[in-house]
Amino acid sequence: GQQVMQIPQYQHVQEGEDFTTYCNSSTTLSNIQWYKQRPGGHPVFLIQLVKSGEVKKQKRLTFQFGEAKKNSSLHITATQTTDVGTYFCAGQTDSWGKLQFGAGTQVVVTP
């Protein structure tokens, strides 16, 4: 079955540093979504990527979808304490809306 793998599972970042989290699927995806979950909160939608090779930016966040539509990455520049949380990628392949979530990358930021 479809499997979405995400690494690293844990990322400790100094404030101001950059980091990247990676997502890989064993199956070609129709789209990939990224969510952020703050400690004690619920997942909040960040972005959706649909096209092969697509790159989208949201301020300090850059999202990429691989050419083969099997991998994706989230790169955050100049990390701030507000970036703390767990970032999940979620891939989708079939038509009835099932999202396959990755394990998540828990980000801890030290000042």
Partner 1 sequence: SAVISQKPSRDICQRGTSLTIQCQVDSQVTMMFWYRQQPGQSLTLIATANQGSEATYESGFVIDKFPISRPNLTFSTLTVSNMSPEDSSIYLCSSATSSYNEQFFGPGTRLTVL
Interface residue list for partner 1 (CB under 8 A): 30-31, 33, 41-45, 48, 50, 88, 92, 95-99, 101-104, 106
**Least Å distance between CB 32 and partner 1?**
11
**Which of 14/30 has CB closer to partner 1?**
30
Name residue 60's amino acid.
R
**Which of 45/52 has CB closer to partner 1?**
45
CA 87, 82, 107, 72 dihedral sign is positive
**Least Å distance between CB 48 and partner 1?**
6
| Cα separation values, 13 from 27, 88, 94, Å | 31, 17, 36
**Least Å distance between CB 9 and partner 1?**
10
Closest CA to 92 of 43, 42, 58, 49: 49
**Which of 7/17 has CB closer to partner 1?**
7
**Which of 96/111 has CB closer to partner 1?**
96
